[in-house]
Amino acid sequence: MSDTPSTPNTGGPETVNPSTANAASFTVLAQYLKDLSFESPRAPEIFQQLKTPQMEVNVDVNGRAFGPDQYEVELSVTAKAMHNGDSVFIVEATYAGAFEIKNLPREQLEAVMLVECPRLLFPFMRQVISDATRNGNFPPLMLEPIDFMSIFLANRQQQAAQQGQQAQPATASENA
């Protein structure tokens, strides 16, 4: 095999295939744990009286640009275990990723940041939460899979409905 290029380099501009020059691209640049907090305020007494706690889990996704075509997406989870009104444990974590997203229309960018990026981050976040609760001497909390697309679509519908409701009173008052 030879290191010599099959076509000579004439020093002119590189030819670019027009069909791939503006193709959308998606690259994971990094992923990382940004924040982790675990509290067990009633330990060790809680271990003697613990039955099955009631769980409350909240998930949030936030995204922001931090450079040209570069975005950070944060997946945050707060899980609280309660027993008879007392806090058994609270675990809060933010797992993030840095992504390069090129040549994507703006209307699709939001969907990629709020659906695809957290979908890629979720298995790692699930492991972080599981390990934190297990290390706190509790059974590992295994988060159920999340359908980020359904949540995204539901939020879009809710926003559209709210905008429609806000526009109607203004229209009704104009007609009165």
Mean pLDDT for 154-174 is 71
Q: What angle do CA 29, 133, 64 make, to 5 degrees?
A: 30
Q: How many CA atoms lie within 13 A of 98 on its CB side?
A: 9
Query: β-strand 70-83 against 54-67: which pairing, if any?
Result: antiparallel
Whether the predicted pLDDT of 146 surpasses 90: yes
Confidence at residue 107, expressed as pLDDT on a 0 to 100 scale: 82
Does the domain at residues 33-143 carry the CATH identifier 3.20.20.70?
A: no
Mean pLDDT of 96-121: 94
Structural domain boundaries in the chain: 33-143
Portion of the chain with pLDDT greater than 90, in percent: 61
Q: What is the mean pLDDT of the chain?
A: 84
pLDDT higher than 70, residue 31: yes
